[in-house]
Amino acid sequence: MSVQPSPDHAAGAAVKAADRAHVFHSWSAQGLIDPLAVAGAEGSYFWDYDGNRYLDFSCQLVNTNIGHQHPKVVAAIQEQAAKLCTIAPGFAVDVRSEAARLVAERTPGDLDKIFFTNGGAEAVENAVKIARSHTKRQAVVVFDHGYHGRTNLTMALTAKNMPYKHGFGPFAPEVYRVPLAYPYRWLTGPENCAEEAAAQAIDMISKQIGAENVAAIIIEPILGEGGFIEPAKGFLPRIAEFAKSNGIVFVADEIQSGFCRTGQWFACEDEGIVPDLITTAKGIAGGLPLAAVTGRAEIMDAAHSGGLGGTYGGNPVACAAALGAIETMRELDLNARAKRIEEVMKGRLAAMREKYDIIGDLRGRGAMIAIELVKSGTKDPNPEGTAAVAKACHSAGLLVLTCGTYGNVLRFLPPLVIGEDLLNEGLDILESAFAEL
């Protein structure tokens, strides 16, 4: 890290005071939070006005895949800002066209038409509209533990026991939920999970909804907020084949798992799946607000005139950042880096699991790894222990996030550019937190 933060307590106090007076923070009960005033960031670190540095094992919200302030992204933003900051989405712009080309070049199969939006929930909403326009059907099928956003429709798509939804209904209709192949918690064991879960899901769709009524099946190839659950091997191909044979649009929500996070450009590639639509955001533009729906032209073109749109979709500056970010991923072969991160992290975390029996499950791929915490000697979720470990890590200078419908999963999302020395430094902090607690 080239910048050594210097304390400036007065500036930090002023930032905090202005924040508390005027800013409403996302996803928080405002009276219960004490937001850290951040002075800057670089690479794998960010820091506050008191001179404290934090190793970022969250990539903020999974969106700084190539680290903070990557020089290539910063340069692309500066160059584009001097040329053209904004233009309405209806115009053709070189940087937007090139960003779309690069995305299409990396998506599996013949998914080569891209609709840019601002954030992940907006991308999912538009994927539903596209699927309904293409199929002339209404029903949308989602899965237990899934998370797809915080708009009204995407909250409807999100698992019913997610706390984000409380008090915000009624939600959008024609959304149906089916079982997910969750190996760690499948009642008859992980070896039966894929076959049984797929059979149950298909049976529910066929008998309770009617496959002929379903516009889209939407699933995260690795769940994000729901707990970094990897559906049992074989489950996703079964569901994708069922969708194909019944004319249902299969949507892979890769908002957290896309763009090299799992050791592939997209997590669905791990089992050779080519979705009809892919939704992406997060790491696509080095942290700037950009998201996309990518699909085959005959599906994407089904939406009627005026049906899809937004003032800021495909903003030139955000698209320029995407060019810098995607080029960095390619040049540094960050898929290979993600696989090496997985090797190091799983080795260390497996050793911790042997020592600390509150670690019940270890899962994930690439640089998208999680441990599920349980009460000693059981599989009962342990959200209190999870929160305590996360808090201890933060106090020691490591930012990790919790997740899961039970609130008992610690998720680790280090920058794909992180060195092994910093990776192990963060894991040392984590192990010390377990040892203390």
Which tens digits make up the pLDDT trace of 302-316? 998 888 989 999 999
So what's the pLDDT on residue 27? 67
286 and 43 in contact (C-beta within 8 Å)? no
pLDDT one-digit tens code per residue, 187-221:
999 999 999 999 999 999 999 999 999 999 999 99
CA distance to 4, 229, 290, per residue, from 102 (Å): 35, 29, 14
Q: Strands 113-117 and 175-178, how do they pair?
A: unpaired
What CATH number should be reported for the domain whose range is 9-66+333-436?
3.90.1150.10
pLDDT band at 170 (very low <50, low <70, confident <90, very high): very high
DSSP state letter for 209:
I
So what's the pLDDT on residue 26? 79
CA proximity to 148, closest of 56, 219, 72, 45: 219
Average pLDDT, integer, range 283-299: 97
Task: Say whether pLDDT at 346 is over 90.
Answer: yes
So what's the pLDDT on residue 1? 54
So what's the pLDDT on residue 231? 98
Average pLDDT, integer, range 208-235: 98
Residue with tokens 């060195």: 419
So what's the pLDDT on residue 165? 86
So what's the pLDDT on residue 305? 86
Task: Say whether pLDDT at 236 is over 70.
Answer: yes
Q: Kindly report, as residue ranges, where domains of CATH 3.90.1150.10 are found in the chain.
A: 9-66+333-436
pLDDT band at 3 (very low <50, low <70, confident <90, very high): low
pLDDT band at 33 (very low <50, low <70, confident <90, very high): confident
pLDDT band at 2 (very low <50, low <70, confident <90, very high): low
Average pLDDT, integer, range 110-129: 97
Q: Strands 409-412 and 401-403, how do they pair?
A: antiparallel
So what's the pLDDT on residue 233? 98
Q: Is the pTM of this model over 0.75?
A: yes
Q: Left, alpha or beta for 228 (phi > 0: left; psi -120 to 50: alpha)?
A: left
pLDDT band at 160 (very low <50, low <70, confident <90, very high): confident
So what's the pLDDT on residue 42? 96
Task: Say whether pLDDT at 71 is over 80.
Answer: yes
- For the CA atoms of 252, 258, 264, 270, what is the dihedral angle to 10 degrees? -20
Task: Say whether pLDDT at 386 is over 70.
Answer: yes
Average pLDDT, integer, range 384-392: 97
Q: Kindly report, as residue ranges, where domains of CATH 3.40.640.10 are found in the chain.
A: 71-331
pLDDT band at 317 (very low <50, low <70, confident <90, very high): very high
So what's the pLDDT on residue 372? 98
pLDDT band at 282 (very low <50, low <70, confident <90, very high): very high
Q: Strands 368-373 and 277-280, how do they pair?
A: unpaired
- Coil, strand or helix at 361: strand
So what's the pLDDT on residue 427? 98
Which of 7-16, 21-30, 133-142, 338-347 comes out lowest in average pLDDT?
Answer: 21-30
Average pLDDT, integer, range 99-126: 97
Average pLDDT, integer, range 358-384: 97
Q: Report the chain's terminal Cα–Cα distance, integer Å.
A: 31
What CATH number should be reported for the domain whose range is 71-331?
3.40.640.10
Q: Strands 277-280 and 291-295, how do they pair?
A: antiparallel
CA proximity to 266, closest of 104, 122, 400: 104
Task: Say whether pLDDT at 20 is over 60.
Answer: yes
Burial of 241 (0-12, 13-18, 19+ CB in 10 A): middle
Q: Strands 113-117 and 139-143, how do they pair?
A: unpaired
Average pLDDT, integer, range 292-305: 95
Average per-residue pLDDT for the chain: 95
So what's the pLDDT on residue 6? 85
Please indicate whether residue 317 or residue 28 has the higher confidence score (pLDDT).
Answer: 317
So what's the pLDDT on residue 4? 66
297 and 112 in contact (C-beta within 8 Å)? yes
Percentage of the residues of the chain whose pLDDT score is greater than 90? 90
Per-residue tokens: 310: 């937004």
Helices 334-355 and 316-331: crossing angle in degrees, nearest 10, is 70
pLDDT band at 164 (very low <50, low <70, confident <90, very high): confident
Amino acid at the residue 281: A
Average pLDDT, integer, range 253-270: 98
Average pLDDT, integer, range 359-387: 97
